[in-house]
Structure 1
Amino acid sequence: MVEMSVFGLALDEDSQMPILILKDATDTHVLPIWIGAMEAMAISMAINKVTMPRPMTHDLVLNVMNALGGKLDHVEILSIEKGTYYASLVVTKGDAVTRIDSRPSDSIALALKADVPIMASKTMLEQALSQQKGEYQAVIEGEDAKQWTEMLAKYNLDDIKYKM
């Protein structure tokens, strides 16, 4: 497994869908995952440490997990099949470890809220890399693509301001 971090959120120009961009510490793997607008909002809120007066869905999941004696240890992005990514929440309770099927976007929102690692299968990363064009997969097309790529490459997570 390879530890990944959230590099940023972007918008696919064609589909107008949010793209979550993950990358590893060595910049060997950049993993774009198309996600829904609500999941992008949850991830943005987690990155910015926005709190709401009442628990949102991802807060509720963590609260239930904790109330039942479990703890989110980390999340794993496991595979990609026909363009769909699969992930698991890895929950511990004492010595017991339970893996719970989850969408990557929900897993990542929970990982950010719980401040736990985001892990990705080496096999899945190699598969995703083999499907990419060149060193990085083009996730933004058009005349602004090169400019966006250069801009994203020079920022670190602390420099990026998320507004959704």
Structure 2
Amino acid sequence: MVVMQVAGLTLDEQTKAPILVLKSVQGNDTLPIWIGAMEAMAISVVINAVSVPRPLTHDLMLGTIGKLGAELLGVEIVDLREGTYFAELDILSAGTRHRVDSRPSDGIALALRAGVPILVRQSVLDAAARDNLRPSASKPAHLIEPADAAAEMMRKAESIRAAHTGQTGQEGEEHEGPDEETLKELLKHLEPDTKTKM
């Protein structure tokens, strides 16, 4: 297993889908993973040490694991099949270790909150390199600050909302929440359009 860390978030230049970039702690291995907008926000909140008034989904899950007397030991990205990464949570409960299937994006959001290792199998890194899913040394991944990536996603969401309602989300302005059609359109535009998924 290769120990990785979050290098940052960026956006796909063509689809504007969020990309989470992992980098090996020792060495030059880099692994980009296309993720959903909500998962990108969940990761960005931790990277930028943003405090939230109420627990987010990943905070709730981690809190539940702890309340049940279990402990998250780490997350491992264990496979790459047909452009989709697969991960497992390593959980210790009552002296027994359990493996729980997870999307890498959710596992990493939990790992960042718990301060536990993010590991990737060497075979996954090799497969990603073979399938040209990793940036080369001559074409490094262009990273932007996590806060900027999150802000860009929020700007995109706001522009879609404004296009449907004719309103702009200026500070101090009150408006009703988006209707069902607007939400569907928003989710459609925020969905990653790529084969290399979370």
Q: Could you state the TM-score of these two structures normalised by the residue count of structure 1?
A: 0.83
Describe the shift of the 1:135–1:63 C-alpha distance in structure 2 as closer, same or farther (beyond 3 A): closer
Counterpart-to-counterpart distance in 2, 1:131 and 1:161? 26
Contact 1:85 1:104 in 2 (8 A): yes
CA RMSD of aligned residues (A): 2.3
1:122 aligns with: 122
1:162 is matched by which residue type in structure 2?
A: A
Instruction: Give secondary structure in 2 for the equivalent of 1:23.
Output: strand
Write the letter of the residue equivalent to 1:55: P
Look up the match of 1:82.
Answer: 82
Task: Please state how far the C-alpha of 1:70 moved relative to its aligned partner.
Answer: 0.6
Residue type at the aligned position of 2:147 = Y
Provide the secondary structure at the position in 1 that maps to 2:136: coil
Question: Do the aligned residues in 1 keep the contact of 2:8 with 2:146 (CA within 8 Å)?
Answer: no
- Over 3 Å counting, the alpha-carbon distance change for 1:61 and 1:150 in structure 2 is closer
**Aligned equivalent of 2:65:** 65
Q: Which runs of 5+ in 1 are unaligned?
A: 139-145
Q: Which amino acid aligns with 1:69?
A: G
Alignment of 1:162 with 2:141, yes or no, is: no
Identity of aligned residues (%): 47
For residues 81 and 133 of structure 2, the distance between their equivalents in structure 1, rounded to whole angstroms, comes to 18
Aligned equivalent of 1:31: 31
Summarize the Cα distance change of 1:76–1:14 in structure 2 as closer, same or farther, 3 Å threshold. same
- The one-letter code sitting in structure 2 at the alignment partner of 1:64 is T
Structure 1 residue 127, shift from structure 2 partner: 1.0
Match of 1:63, SS state, is: helix
- How many residue pairs match? The answer is 149
Give distance in 2, aligned partners of 1:105 and 1:81. 16
**SS of equivalent residue, structure 1 residue 136:** coil
Q: SS of the residue aligned with 2:69?
A: coil
Alignment of 1:44-55 (within 5 A): 44-55=44-55
1:28-61 Cα offsets, whole Å, 9 max, x none, are 3110000000000000001112221111100000
The runs of 5 or more residues in structure 2 that have no matched partner are 151-198
Structure-2 change in CA distance of 1:117 and 1:41 (3 Å) = same
* CA gap 1:26/1:99 in 2 versus in 1, 3 angstroms: same
CA contact (8 A) 1:29 1:129 kept: no
- Of Structure 1 and Structure 2, which has the larger fraction of its residues in strand? 1
Residue 63 of structure 1 aligns with an amino acid whose one-letter code is G
Residues 120 and 151 of structure 1: CA distance in aligned 2, closer, same or farther (over 3 Å): closer
For residues 83-135 of structure 1, what are the alpha-carbon distances to aligned partners after superposition, in whole Å with 9 as ceiling and x for unaligned?
00000111112421011111000000000011110000111111112222896
- Runs of 4+ aligned structure 1 residues displaced above 3 Å come to 149-152
Alpha-carbon contact 2:135-2:141 (below 8 Å) kept: no
